[in-house]
Chains A and B, each alone.
Chain A
């Protein structure tokens, strides 16, 4: 074959070589495209098969998803205020805390609502932190009952800081009601969560 090729006239040899190169290039392109198609299809099938299996699995346990979602939603309601409550959630929390305090004999001398996004530097915040500063006056017993009420509250609340100060003994004015010797000045911060997404 090589001998035959070398014996060919120069121009015929060049033309034949060019034709062979073009043919080889076409064959290479075709083979590589077929190989690419084969490998790509195998890869695609290997990706799609588990996805289909997963979807079919979801379909089989669809009712279970509904049930678990319901439970998860109920659990979430125990942990945070709903998104739908909007800005009113903070006001409601403040109002509730004032109501509890007064219910257990504490005198509310001041309250302030502060709101901030949880991990505000992150883009996708999940919750808004509702924070209520309370200034109260009352006995340790009333405080204990108030703390118990906060612990049992739904959605969950937490006390982030608590400061108890014994008030200075003030000389009592004539005719004024006697000062309770057990009374404390209480300053506390109560925090709760409001869901931001959904």
Chain B
């Protein structure tokens, strides 16, 4: 029956990915290729394989609670162990334990409940995994465990049972493997703490310049705030001064555009001959317009031009003869030269 996974997202079975992540973690911790297990998992010392002069050191190992002290193991001879090699596709590694149990159930000469077993990955290729499964009659395993305990009586730590497999050995499950794992994890934890402390120390050292400069900048900002508070009134005076200077400059600029007409009226009056009569004199900005009567308007225009005080001197209309006054009627327009206005 097709049963939907509880870890499903848009039809994608997330439990497969979770299982693979878990498998990767297990491979990192326990895989021979990684090297962590060789470095941090405590070694095993087989009690029933030592020479008599090693007895003292065994006793020392027994009383040593250190997690990196060797574990005590008992090696079951090959003659009492059934070894089976199993090949598994590499993608089936997530079902490794199920495959081992299935192998034990199908190949053990004993009832499954009466079988103690263990396994190890003997070989890994890109496509295939070769397992070595060791099976022992549970009663035999317990007998060996009792014998081992008799030899090292009074020891609280459990004795590990290992099955001999040629030049190597396979640990049997249920006989001290959880204690081994705990000691391994404790070693790893200590290493992780040491590494994290070293990384934190390096990070702290590297961040010191930035922190120091930041603190210095903070002190400067504080000093600036204090100085601003203390010098606030002076700054206000300065701002008022700047504003006043701006206003002065703007006002001077405004008045510079205007001409003082008094001196110009004197100049025009001095230049004008007695026979010239003004009817109108207009000043608008720097433009002077005069109109009136003269015996010779052209002569008067020449006098003004030669005075060198005016530019753009023009007659906007023709000079006309006023028969009644007996003079020429004229209108002249000119621009005051600013440098003479001083």
B241 contacts A65, C-beta separation under 8 Å: yes
Select the stretch in A48-56, A91-99, A171-179 that faces chain B: A48-56
Q: Are B224 and A48 in contact (CB under 8 A)?
A: yes
Contacts of A13 in B (CB 8 A): 24
B54 within 8 A of A: no
Contact size class for A? 35 or more
- Name the interface residues of A123-172: CB closer than 8 Å to any CB of B: 126-127, 129, 140, 143-144, 147-148, 151, 156, 158-166
A58 in contact with B235 (CB, 8 Å):
yes
| Cα–Cα distance between A68 and B238 once the two chains are bound (Å) | 9
Q: How far is the CA of A10 from the CA of B21 in the complex (A)?
A: 11
In the complex the two chains form, is A44's CB within 8 Å of B220's CB?
yes
Inter-chain contact A38/B213, CB cutoff 8 Å: yes
Given contacts A8-B34, A69-B241, contact A41 B254 (CB under 8 A): no
**Contact present for B216 and A41 (CB under 8 Å):** yes
Assess whether A16 is interfacial by the CB under 8 Å rule.
yes
Which of the segments B62-70, B180-188, B275-283 contacts the partner chain?
Answer: B275-283
Residues of A contacting B320 in the complex (Cβ-Cβ under 8 angstroms): none
Distance between Cα atoms of A167 and B78 in the complex (Å) = 147
Asked, given contacts A48-B220, A166-B279, whether A193 binds B251 with beta carbons under 8 Å apart, the answer is yes
Contact of A11 among B24, B278, B282 (CB under 8 A): B24
A8 to B252, CA, bound (A): 86
Could you mark each residue 19-37 of chain A with 1 if its beta carbon is under 8 Å from any beta carbon of chain B, else 0? Answer: 0000000000010001101
The residues of B that contact A158 with a CB separation of less than 8 Å are 255, 258, 260
A10 to B250, CA, bound (A): 81
Majority DSSP secondary structure for residues of A touching B = helix
Q: Is A75 interfacial (CB-CB < 8 Å)?
A: yes
**Counting CB contacts under 8 A, is A84 at the interface?**
no
What separation, in Å, do the CA atoms of A79 and B255 have in the docked complex? 9
Q: What is the distance, in angstroms, from B196's C-beta to the closest C-beta of chain A? A: 12
Task: Mark B11-25 against chain A: 1 for CB-CB distance below 8 A, else 0.
Answer: 000000000110111
Q: Is the CB of B210 within 8 A of A69?
A: no
Task: Name A66's closest neighbour in chain B (CB-CB).
Answer: B237
Interchain CB contact under 8 A, A163 and B280: yes
A59 to B237, CA, bound (A): 11
Nearest B residue (CB) for A155: B251
Binds A, one of B39-47, B108-116, B226-234, B307-315: B226-234
Within 8 A of A (CB), among B1-42: 20-21, 23-25, 27-28, 31, 33-35
Contacts A45-B220, A55-B231, A197-B243; A160 near B25 (Cβ below 8 A):
no
Contacting residues, chain A, for B231 (C-beta < 8 A): 55-56, 58-59, 62
Nearest opposing residue in chain A for B19, CB measure: A11
Q: Assess whether A58 is in contact with B234, with CB atoms less than 8 Å apart.
A: yes
Q: Which residues of A contact B20 (CB under 8 A)?
A: 11, 14
Interface membership of B60, Cβ < 8 A = no
Is A102 interfacial (CB 8 A cutoff)? no
Instruction: Verify A162–B261 contact, CB threshold 8 A.
Output: yes
CA distance A198 to B241 in the complex (A): 12
CB-based closest 9 A-B pairs: A11-B24, A15-B24, A158-B258, A12-B27, A79-B251, A72-B244, A41-B217, A38-B210, A147-B262
29 A-B contact pairs sorted by A residue (CB < 8 Å): A9-B33, A9-B93, A11-B23, A11-B27, A15-B24, A15-B25, A16-B24, A34-B207, A37-B214, A41-B214, A41-B216, A45-B216, A51-B224, A55-B227, A55-B235, A56-B231, A65-B238, A69-B244, A72-B241, A126-B246, A147-B261, A147-B265, A151-B260, A156-B255, A163-B281, A165-B280, A166-B277, A166-B279, A193-B251
B binding-site residues for A, Cβ under 8 Å: 20-21, 23-25, 27-28, 31, 33-35, 90, 93, 124, 203, 206-207, 209-211, 213-214, 216-217, 220-221, 223-224, 227-228, 230-231, 233-235, 237-238, 240-241, 243-248, 250-252, 254-255, 258, 260-262, 265-266, 269, 277-285
Q: A15-B28, A69-B241, A158-B258 are in contact. List 12 more A-B contacts (CB 8 A).
A: A9-B27, A11-B20, A11-B23, A48-B221, A48-B223, A56-B231, A69-B240, A143-B265, A162-B261, A162-B281, A163-B280, A164-B280
